[in-house]
Amino acid sequence: MTTKQASNVKPSEEPMRQAVTPVEAGSLVAAAGTNKKPSAPSEGGNFADLPAYAQDFAERTVLFWDALRQRADNFLEHERLGLPALLDFKWELLLDARTFERPVNYALLRITEASGCRARDCVDDNKPPVLIVDPRAGHGPGIGGFKRESEVGLALLEGHPVYFVIFFPEPCQDQTLMDVLHALRRFVEEVARRHPGKPPVLYGNCQAGWAITLLSADCRGLVGPAVLNGSPLSYWAGDAGVNPARLAAGLLGGVWLTHFIADLGDGRFDGAWLAQNFETLKPGNALWDKYAHLFTHIDDERERFLDFERWWGGFHSLTREEILAIVENLFIGNELEQGLFRICEACFADLRKIKNPLVIFASYGDNITPPHQALGWIPAVYKDTADLKAAGQRIIYLTNPHVGHLGIFVSAKIARFEHRAILEGLAEIEALAPGLYEMKIDNPGGDPDCRLPKYSLRFEPREVSDLKFDHPIDAFERVQRISQAGDAFYSAWISPWVRAVSNPWTANYLRWTHPMRTNRYLWSEQFSPWMHGVAGLAETVRRGRHPLPDDDDYIAQERRVIDGVSQFFELGRVWRDAIEEAAFSALYRWPPSRQVEKFAKK
């Protein structure tokens, strides 16, 4: 299905691209294991080529382990430097929220140069500023700009003044989610003050998207358009068998486990746990695919792998109060779409109060924040399209058929195509009458670098009823009640004892023995002295490296084997997700869902 074809499908009609039954997954593995295309030797291939393949395999093995050694060294160096923001552009610090009356570990930057373009040479004074906020969800800042072709570089090259919000590895003492929201508001006000009459365009990636939504929904509101990229707002929504993350709280008993981990961390929640949860969703990718891809493309992929892993391994912490507010009130309580999330003593986040245009970008390839979670709040807040229009709101959404969660922010192709189209379409977006629209991008030439008018934008009216997704609200309400009861018991009887034995030393010990860190730094020469030999051997290999071509018969057979292992991991993931779905339904849904009954019959 092409991108253009997929854009004509309403969200409620979009096929579940990631939903694979265990039987179907088993068929895929069987197909991979019984591939009729024989290997070169069995087909009478040239055995004389085998030594060349063996040499190539040995060379790639050395270079592969050397890449893991370099990743370990980069990880330790990044830690020694204090986990600085990984931004591929020059900037100046405008506001440091650690100096605010209620300090938080955030700061506002102004971008002075990106992709070789200096701001004073690129900026068009007639264009509004763009403020990009990265997610604080376990990793450090930089996903929106740690490489040249990014949201930051694109916005500056399009002539917009660009500002960026970063955060530091450790939160300030007693920092709360409300303190963070107040700091973000001051940043928005500072950017608006610097550009009178031009409300800033707010870019929120993932977690930062719902933070911007909270600012837009409070009693003071915001004015400029908000672009929400892969941002969850309807936390209970999702498809059975496709979005298992929403079931985790029910299967783990609620928020108490998060509370326990934060207590063990001496009041800090280690972001490595969030990164591990992300990898657990697709264990095949974390354990096999990304390493297999590096091994098979070691000559071309080394630097890209190291750049991404430097960001992926920079784990940042949250306070106990922050993580509990996020998990309990948003992910478990789903209070945002219900208008129950308290921003301050007398102010609740009411999504009906949002008046600035919202542009929502979601992907059907995103198993973290599917379109259900990005868009499902709309029919929960507005009873129909007439209600949305009466509220004076403009909501525009666009979807991608296949890109994954991180690709929404980090993919160069997405940045050059969808994000450029959003920026170039801002004037049309703000001129739209109140209502719900789907943004369509028609690009006959397929060139991701083309500009208007070589491609065209259309904003097709949609009905709020198109966005109604079916999910078991009663089951998640039971999860919420059980979570509250479990956390009350934990807080009263167990938490005091855990806090009594926790201290900075024990917290640091747990931090450095976390598997997300040990599987990185243990490959450094400082922990594994024999890696010095790997480094020296790798230099020799690189000087005399002559890789085999991709169409070599032995290389083709190797990749078929790799694909078969990948399919095996996928089969395991599908079965695990199906079992979790069945367990969740048995615990919280009465009667069990039809899908579980169907699975049981199979």
**One-letter identity of residue 344:** C
**One-letter identity of residue 451:** R
Instruction: Report the distance separating Cα 265 and Cα 388, nearest Å.
Output: 45
Check: CB of residue 97 under 8 Å from CB of residue 105. yes
Instruction: Report the distance separating Cα 469 and Cα 592, nearest Å.
Output: 18
N-terminal to C-terminal alpha carbon distance within the chain:
28
Domains of the chain: 3-63+541-601 (no CATH), 89-236+352-470 (3.40.50.1820)
The alpha carbon of residue 579 and the mean position of all alpha carbons in its chain are separated, in whole angstroms, by: 25
Q: Which residues pair with 228 in a beta bridge?
A: 204, 360
Structure token pair of residue 42: 């069995």
- Classified as helix, coil or strand, 82 is coil
Rank 68-77, 86-95, 141-150, 577-586 by mean pLDDT and report only the highest.
68-77
Position 254 scores a pLDDT of 95
Mean pLDDT of the chain: 87
Kind and range of the H or E run holding 66: helix 50-80
Instruction: Report the distance separating Cα 250 and Cα 301, nearest Å.
Output: 39
Q: Which residue has the higher pLDDT, 544 or 451?
A: 544
The alpha carbon of residue 480 and the mean position of all alpha carbons in its chain are separated, in whole angstroms, by: 24
Q: Which among 205, 231, 226, 228 has a CA at the least distance from the CA of 357?
A: 226
Position 470 scores a pLDDT of 81
Q: Kindly report whether the peptide bond that precedes residue 196 is cis, defined as omega within 30 degrees of 0.
A: no
Position 229 scores a pLDDT of 93
Write out pLDDT tens, residues 326-350: 999 999 999 999 988 888 777 888 8
Percentage of the chain lying above the pLDDT 90 cut: 67
Check: CB of residue 243 under 8 Å from CB of residue 367. yes
pLDDT of 33 over the 50 cut: no
- HEC string of 474-496? HHHHHHHHHHHHHHHHHHHHHHH
Which of 19-23, 125-129, 351-355, 403-407 shows the lowest mean pLDDT across its residues?
A: 19-23
Region of 159 (left: φ > 0; alpha: ψ -120 to 50; beta: rest) is: left
Position 219 scores a pLDDT of 66
Q: Which residue has the higher pLDDT, 45 or 528?
A: 528
* pTM value > 0.85: yes
Radius of gyration of the chain measured on its C-alpha atoms: 25
- Classified as helix, coil or strand, 15 is coil
Check: CB of residue 262 under 8 Å from CB of residue 500. no
* Residue tagged 């921003």 (tokens): 343
CA angle 352, 356, 362 (to 5 degrees): 85
Could you tell me the pLDDT band of residue 138, with boundaries at 50, 70 and 90?
very high
Check: CB of residue 200 under 8 Å from CB of residue 164. no
Check: CB of residue 108 under 8 Å from CB of residue 180. no
The alpha carbon of residue 528 and the mean position of all alpha carbons in its chain are separated, in whole angstroms, by: 32
Instruction: Report the distance separating Cα 44 and Cα 216, nearest Å.
Output: 68
Write out pLDDT tens, residues 167-212: 999 999 999 999 999 999 999 999 999 999 999 999 999 989 999 9
Position 10 scores a pLDDT of 45
Query: 337-361: string of b/e by CB count within 10 Å (b at 16+)?
Result: bbeebebeeeebbbbebbbbbbbbb
Instruction: Report the distance separating Cα 365 and Cα 3, nearest Å.
Output: 12
Instruction: Report the distance separating Cα 209 and Cα 226, nearest Å.
Output: 8
Structure token pair of residue 487: 């956390």
Kind and range of the H or E run holding 361: strand 358-363
Helix locations, 107-150, DSSP H? 119-122
Position 597 scores a pLDDT of 47
Write out pLDDT tens, residues 248-292: 999 999 999 999 999 999 999 999 999 999 999 999 999 999 999
Kindly give, in sequence order, each residue whose CB lies less than 8 Å from that of residue 544, ignoring residues fewer than 6 positions away: none
Instruction: Report the distance separating Cα 313 and Cα 271, nearest Å.
Output: 10
* Residue tagged 């486990």 (tokens): 257
Share of the chain residues as helix, strand and coil, in percent rounded to the nearest 5 = 55, 15, 35
Instruction: Report the distance separating Cα 121 and Cα 58, nearest Å.
Output: 50
Instruction: Report the distance separating Cα 493 and Cα 175, nearest Å.
Output: 25
